[in-house]
Amino acid sequence: MVEEEAKSLPMELSEKGGVENNGFVQNEALDDKETDTSSQEEMPKTCIVVDPAATEEPVLKPYAGMPKEVLLKFSSQARYRVTREILFWLIIAAAIVLVCATIAIIALSPKCLDWWQASPIYQIYPRSFKDSNMDGNGDLKGIQEKLDHITYLNIKTIWITSFYKSPLKGLGYGAEDFYDIDPMFGSMNDFENLLAAIHDRGLKVIMDLIPNHTSDKHRWFQLSRNRTGKYTDYYVWQDCRQAAGSVTPPNNWVSVFGNSSWQFDDVRKQCYFHQFGKEQPDLNFHNLAVQQEIHDIIKFWLGKGIDGFSFSAVKFLLEATHLRDEPQVNKSQTPESITAYSQLYHDYTTTQVGMHDIIRSFRQTMNQFSSEPGRYRFMGSDGDENIEATMMYYGTTFIQEADFPFNFNLINMKNLSGNSVFEAVNLWMKNMPAEKWPNWAVGSPNAARISSRIGKEYVNVMNMLLLTLPGTPVTYYGEEIGMENIASENVTFPEKSPMQWDGKVNAGFTEGNSTWLPVNSDYQSVNVESQMTWSNSTLNLYRELTLLRNNELPMHRGWMCYIWNDSDVFVYVRELDGLDRVFMMVLNFGQESTTDLKAIVPNLPSEAIIRLSTNFSNAGKAVNTKLVKTEMGEGLVLEYKTAKPVHTMEAFQGNCFVAEKACYSSAFNLLYVNC
């Protein structure tokens, strides 16, 4: 019996798979025999002879589900260890290469254009844009109703002119309360809703701020005229000499609107200084408390969420404390007869020492709100009659001031021609400090509209100029459809007529029975609704130009080179280093003209394609560059390819300008700076 059991043991092991055990199935027969020792007698010791070949351990191979011990046995083998180390170091090397490539791309990439550079700015005079409550006055809710029009124009920045609480209902340039909305335009809640709607659409909004003066109804002025505490010196007060019932002012200073800039106050028994109307007393910016008040106003509105300010009338912030008479333009004129602003040199009442320091302090306050990514706060300012003085508002390389002073050269041209447009553009570009950003405007609330100023036949070509020049274009509401001034001598503000939305009563501006200014009589043909359906309209051309500007790199940030100008045409190109595609603008501001561009630019191809034209039917046509014909008021955007861009030609070196320089790599489809 014992012998039979001993003989059966190797047989059982063989049937159970020999000595190999993968750790998942135990030999249950062996377990039973080893544990059930209490019920069996001790087996006698028996010598069993086993064949060595039969007991040799089989070769193990990797298999799914290996336990840790088996896995470690294989992982320590050279062929697996070497492979693993090679893969590890390859991953490390790839990570290092990726990090280095990222750093190189960042280092070589040009600065991205900020929001105030990338989009045109659309300026709205709120009283004339859209009336929502049928009182005949435009308001903040009306602007909110028409935000889709802004996005339709491919514009992302809105500039709303002054809407502070003010007794000067016509203009609102003398604030009664810098912290409140004039009831004519709505409430603070209306403003907050408008701001939220603007930001929800991915748009930005700029406000006006005129820190130089307030309304005479302002609480500060009422306290100052009564000599109340710190407000006593919030304004510029001086004793006046009185004789025979008349007041003799302290000096010969004249206001912008004419006559003496000093006004006697019966309450304080002194004269206060006003650079503008007598209802707009100047603040005393020599008083640091006044400066702090303006900083607090800036913080209040930035805290509300606005994206920037346009500071106006800043050259008037300081006056000379010595109060000397200003020099006369005509020295032979009797001093008593001087009443007009133009009759004096304003050496002591404009651009005084310390004025730029105050503006820079405004910039520093705004920078406190610009730390968040994508939330840079824009600062614009008005300029000066003198171009060198205007350029000082840009600040310096190390001291930041305005992002740009607004440029009205194209508005202030005395006559229209190819030469005059060239001179207006060149004046700004050649004087602008290096690495600064230009801007252009062809309309404003204080100037006649394009149609009325230079003629309706030039509206389209002026818009084409505006939107193809380098820098930020500024469009005054209504210029995108070619609105005109109101043709009436009895209207005080003919350039501020209500926006013409459609051909219905009151041009869709209001559902009320009247408007604060008359609607222009041409509203049935010149309106947004009708021009949206007319392919060759001013509105659709404007929209195509903004699309071109947004989508084409040379229009965004490339070179501009003057090619030609004469009494009729102004020609320039927009190019980008590394890109063989060039855009050439041929703009006619005079009479019908034919220009041989091939003779001017020898490397120019013999043919170019019309990308855009003020006459839509010409788009897509080829033109002979030796005979480029333009009619009066016609504008062409020509497109061609070349390996020799104009800005690399020695003959044009003095005619080329670039802001935010960048180069294009076709191999990697990206921009870089080291050209």
Sorted by sequence, the CB contacts under 8 Å of residue 229 that are 6+ apart come out as 223
Burial of 512 (0-12, 13-18, 19+ CB in 10 A): middle
According to DSSP, the β-strands at 581-588 and 635-641 are: antiparallel
User: What H or E segment, with its residue span, contains residue 547?
Assistant: helix 538-551
- In 3D space, the residue among 539, 555, 522, 524 whose CA is nearest the CA of residue 460 turns out to be 539
Tell me how far apart the alpha carbons of residues 634 and 462 are, in angstroms, rounded to a whole number. Answer: 10
Q: Which residue has the tokens 């200003």?
A: 326
Res 371: pLDDT:
87
Residues linked to residue 310 through DSSP beta bridges, in sequence order: 208, 380
Q: Which residues of 454-472 are buried (b: 16+ CB within 10 A; e: fewer)?
A: bebebbbbbbbbbbbbbbb
Strand, coil or helix: 55: helix
d(CA 455, CA 458): 6
Q: How much is the pTM?
A: 0.86
The 3-class secondary structure across 583-640, one letter per residue, is EEEEEECCCCEEECHHHHCCCCCCEEEEEEECCHHHCCCEEECCCEEECCCCEEEEEE
Q: Is 340 helix (H, G, I), strand (E, B) or coil?
A: coil
Residues in the chain: 675
Helices 459-468/538-551 angle, 10° precision: 10
CB of 660 within 8 A of CB of 113?
Answer: yes
What does the alpha-carbon distance between residue 413 and residue 423 come to, in Å, rounded to a whole number? 9
Q: Is the torsion defined by CA of 594, 600, 605, 611 positive or negative?
A: negative
Q: Where are the beta strands (DSSP E) in 254-392?
A: 262-265, 270-273, 308-311, 378-381
The H helix count followed by the E strand count for the chain is 20, 26
Those residues with Cβ within 8 angstroms of residue 134's Cβ, 6 or more apart along the chain or in another chain: 510, 511, 512
Give the pair of three-digit tokens for residue 452: 């009325």
Contact (Cβ atoms closer than 8 angstroms) between residue 321 and residue 275: no
Low-confidence ranges of the chain (pLDDT < 70): 1-60, 168-172
* Region of 592 on the Ramachandran plot (φ > 0 left; ψ -120 to 50 alpha; else beta): beta
User: 50 — phi, psi (to 5°)?
Assistant: -115, 140
**Among 574, 588, 576, residue whose Cα is nearest residue 636:** 588
Which tens digit of pLDDT belongs to each residue from 351-394?
Answer: 999 999 999 999 999 999 998 877 899 999 998 989 999 999 99
Q: Kindly give the residue spans of alpha helices, DSSP state H, lying in 402-498.
A: 418-431, 450-453, 459-468
Q: What is the pLDDT of residue 244?
A: 74
Residue 580's closest CA among 641, 638, 639, 658? 641
The HSE-up count of residue 671 (CA atoms within 13 Å, CB side) is 18
First and final C-alpha spacing in the chain: 99
Query: Quick one: tokens of 93?
Result: 């090397």
**């019932």: which residue's tokens?**
245
The residues near 198 (Cβ < 8 Å, ≥ 6 apart) are: 147, 158, 204, 205
> For 110, which DSSP code?
P
Structure tokens at 29: 């027969």
The bridge status of strand 622-624 relative to strand 177-181 is unpaired
pLDDT at site 16: 41
Tell me the C-alpha distance between 458 and 449, whole Å.
11
Q: Which residue has the tokens 């939330």?
A: 375
